[in-house]
Structure 1
């Protein structure tokens, strides 16, 4: 309670959002930090509440998101006495610091008020510096209530956001890129976190090199640039796949990507079979984990690319030759799989048609929060991002149920922007009670739930490889529009594209928390899913 009491005089500066479940609150804080580019904060009491909070901390850790998680405990004086909700590490009670250790950059149990100022300063600095990530502080109630004194409160910590690699390596990288016959730029989540869009585009244009993104890096560059090919692997663009499996590619500049399963077609040998790798990453532990690299540049993506551009010799003739070769390589390759599905109006609705229609209706600047499951592949494939769009997806943990509360966190960070959440009904049911949080705080999010009455990815696997034996993948026919209405959110059942048009335009004209229960065909196979399921 000490933490809550301390907030009483600060309500004009701090907004306290009461979630329905600690997991939902931690997902909101994670998404809020992603959307603001700053520190997210969440808190809970001890016991099972703290365990619920771990989900969002793990998600932030997987995607390098700065987050401060604060949990409570029994009073220090009661440690070892089997107190209610004791987390002391004594007897059979878990140690809260060790519980969070695997999914946090730092995790501390504070036993006295004297430790708090320095611990908070160090925790924030740790979360915000280097490869960012979550930190955890466990503060028992007697420590929370103790006086520290204003003279003990440190100033905000300083940290270096833009570390640069060795200049000799930058010069070597520029020479490698200039000399490559068919270089490709592969932009990942790290380039998004760094804000490296302008540098990526400038480098691609200077080289005449194609730009491919990872799934998490979808927002690194907007759709429509002449050198943009979409993202690769799960739900990826056929054009990106064509380039990233071409034996002509001799150098891949991998910027802020771990080059993992989502990107390399589940470790397929067809992935750039003859290319060398030039890897840019803030974390030296990511270098050569999957592929040996010809050269590693340890530093911030934006600053590193800007340094390369300064050393890159101009060669317009070679850049033109690369652009011409790229045009020839992808000349007969479509941007989308099954383009006819995007124009279908059959009932039940086809997911490609729903996502394609959403992309056309939502304005530039929409912030898109995406859940895990088949809805992921449909959305990333058929929803091209406009120049000012944002994209938020907890791909590192691949957790279902993240986007439903996460969209609330995004809207709180970006109140001026339309916020769209796409989820399946399986993911919605995991954290759907957070709609009441949006209603009580008047957070205008548009949730579009692709209701197929199944855990879609599991069902698709069973459909393809188990002859339709749908074991433990079928959900009930739940009226999600009525569920939303019961939680204080406008709920609309959607069975046709005309109904979808009217509902989305109504939301844009008069933004308020709204859920669209869109009934879709459960038999539709997501694009690109075979790159994962064959393994």
Structure 2
């Protein structure tokens, strides 16, 4: 007996439930009512009302990052669709699998100036999202709903994962269609690709190497390859550096951890990778972009062979001359490499451990700073260390864009994998607030902490109210220095004067704002009270906000390094860093 037909939007939701999706983040609107009507009758998948569609996209991003699955958000036609653009683009730039569902006016009204119409006649959102997604399409009629949602899920969740967009007209959403529901294995591959011949060649290079090193990128996070990376490193004595986005994929107190290389990088990683002693460098899950390489530092090129492993063939050899490129999943490839190498340590294992030990004794991991600050303020390094002292062992730290990322990338030590998150693909200020809320909802029982500047908080802080309404355990720590500190400091470092209007005319009263949004609010105005205030905020079962006064004159050391890099880079118009790709 054939199944009873369902609405096309019901079929879409059936597929999302099949992918394990629990929430749809968004803001309702007239044309989006069919979606919310369908959600109202379900328990497995629930709507979350956000304050803005950008917040909805960031929450879907965070949910997907932490859960390592699909995140879903929605927006109504017109401004609802365009408001989500930045969040969707950020997710796509970081290869986060995300589905945006946008409404469209009923097909009978297309081209006739219907209210908030988003068609080729009046601003085409399908075309708009084509530039920032793997797939952007309109569902033209109900019979296409199943086909297009399967195609969207396949695009979002396979290869280099990313964002996708479906626009659903109101009448199409309600159209009755057969319940053609198929398992994931029927519409997308579930196996993880491995280049077996390439793995054997990498193993041979490592056996003959004298000074090998692993360089792990964000792709190791996406593939959940941290455990495989740790096993390979430990068994064969391979030092590991990471890109900024992969910070903590190998815990940073590990004896073989060099820490971050690139923006905000550790002194150990910088010295080890640029002193021309590394002969075989195995890069896993990174395209070696600007922030991961200190603006394509040519010294990163090893003396013998650079091996690049990536699920995206377009990333292999993109920025550096590669002697061996492998296209494959990071986790599956690292597991295959460990099996190929066997149980015997590499010939280089002991010397690598000695060299790393000597380096650690020769210099500290972090830049030393004078922690003196003005009255009524806290030094950012004291804040970073204070967070480390009080945060629960299984807590997640979400770091925003601006000076806070300089401080936390460099000074925070990740002691557990899957505990550090930063959206650096498009590097959107304020993104961490929504991402943390979505991430916390994906991991019930784990506390989320956010490090965010006051200027970024001004952009997205209203989403604190969303955390309050849904009782999400997030502690938002606001580094309050009176405006856009990174911009102000950058002006001084690059031009020795202020160029941009970067400082607010009056400070934000973050504590009062937070209380107005219903969160428990705290303030820290000295290092002495910092631990007490942070501990009190973390003791709250629901969301809390900590307003930390930061001396606006304190410049992060990584920003000084970044300014020096940019001066050199701009002066040479990039030519000094293109030598690595000259004979691709």
* Residue from 480, 497, 508 that aligns with 1:451: 480
Cα distance in 2 for partners of 1:305, 1:290 equals: 22
Task: Please list the CA deviations of residues 129-169 of structure 1 after superposition, one character each: whole Å capped at 9, or x if unmatched.
Answer: 1111111000011111222243x344445533543333221
Aligned residues: 530
TM-score normalised to structure 2 length: 0.87
Native 8 Å contact 1:251 1:277 kept in 2: yes
Any unmatched runs of 5+ in structure 1?
A: none
Native 8 Å contact 1:233 1:531 kept in 2: no
Native 8 Å contact 1:366 1:389 kept in 2: no
Tell me what 1:5 maps to.
Answer: 37
Q: Is 1:237 aligned to residue 266 of structure 2?
A: yes
* Residue from 351, 369, 389 that aligns with 1:321: 351
* Residue from 115, 119, 133 that aligns with 1:84: 115
TM-score normalised to structure 1 length: 0.95
Q: Which moved more, 1:235-244 or 1:201-210?
A: 201-210
Tell me what 2:556 maps to.
Answer: 526
SS of residue paired to 1:408: helix
Alignment of 1:140-151 (within 5 A): 140-150=169-179
Q: 1:273 offset after TM fit, Å?
A: 5.9
- Give the alignment's Cα RMSD to 1 decimal: 1.8
Cα distance in 1 for partners of 2:48, 2:556 equals: 36
* Residue from 232, 250, 271 that aligns with 1:203: 232
* Residue from 373, 383, 404 that aligns with 1:375: 404
Task: Please list the CA deviations of residues 234-289 of structure 1 after superposition, one character each: whole Å capped at 9, or x if unmatched.
Answer: 11110111111111111110000111111211122333463531001000010100
Cα distance in 1 for partners of 2:362, 2:415 equals: 24
Tell me what 1:279 maps to.
Answer: 308
Cα distance in 1 for partners of 2:376, 2:533 equals: 17
Task: Please list the CA deviations of residues 410-447 of structure 1 after superposition, one character each: whole Å capped at 9, or x if unmatched.
Answer: 11111200100000001111111111111111112100
Native 8 Å contact 1:110 1:137 kept in 2: yes
Cα distance in 2 for partners of 1:441, 1:70 equals: 22
Cα distance in 2 for partners of 1:204, 1:456 equals: 38
* Residue from 53, 62, 75 that aligns with 1:44: 75
Cα distance in 2 for partners of 1:83, 1:249 equals: 63
Q: Is 1:112 aligned to residue 141 of structure 2?
A: yes
Q: Is 1:433 aligned to residue 462 of structure 2?
A: yes
Cα distance in 2 for partners of 1:307, 1:157 equals: 23
Cα distance in 1 for partners of 2:334, 2:118 equals: 46
SS of residue paired to 2:521: strand
Distance 1:345 1:497, change over 3 A: farther
* Residue from 259, 277, 295 that aligns with 1:266: 295
Q: Is 1:419 aligned to residue 448 of structure 2?
A: yes
Q: Which moved more, 1:154-163 or 1:34-43?
A: 154-163
SS of residue paired to 1:191: helix
Cα distance in 2 for partners of 1:387, 1:401 equals: 25
* Residue from 486, 510, 515 that aligns with 1:480: 510
Runs of 4+ off more than 6 Å: 343-346
Tell me what 2:211 maps to.
Answer: 182
SS of residue paired to 1:17: strand
Native 8 Å contact 1:32 1:410 kept in 2: yes
SS of residue paired to 1:443: coil
Cα distance in 2 for partners of 1:289, 1:272 equals: 13
Tell me what 2:276 maps to.
Answer: 247
Native 8 Å contact 2:212 2:238 kept in 1: yes
Any unmatched runs of 5+ in structure 2?
A: 1-32, 567-584
Alignment of 1:168-179 (within 5 A): 168-179=197-208
* Residue from 353, 357, 360 that aligns with 2:382: 353
Tell me what 1:21 maps to.
Answer: 52
Native 8 Å contact 1:61 1:103 kept in 2: yes
Native 8 Å contact 2:135 2:163 kept in 1: yes
Cα distance in 2 for partners of 1:189, 1:63 equals: 8
Tell me what 1:72 maps to.
Answer: 103
Native 8 Å contact 2:91 2:97 kept in 1: yes
Distance 1:389 1:173, change over 3 A: closer
Q: Which moved more, 1:212-221 or 1:378-387?
A: 378-387
Distance 1:162 1:396, change over 3 A: farther
Q: Which moved more, 1:120-129 or 1:524-533?
A: 524-533
Native 8 Å contact 1:45 1:72 kept in 2: yes
Tell me what 1:512 maps to.
Answer: 542
Task: Please list the CA deviations of residues 367-404 of structure 1 after superposition, one character each: whole Å capped at 9, or x if unmatched.
Answer: 11111011001011121112255222111111101001
Native 8 Å contact 1:364 1:389 kept in 2: no
Native 8 Å contact 2:248 2:417 kept in 1: no
Distance 1:174 1:345, change over 3 A: farther
* Residue from 164, 168, 178 that aligns with 1:135: 164
Cα distance in 1 for partners of 2:176, 2:492 equals: 62
Tell me what 1:35 maps to.
Answer: 66
Q: 1:346 offset after TM fit, Å?
A: 6.6
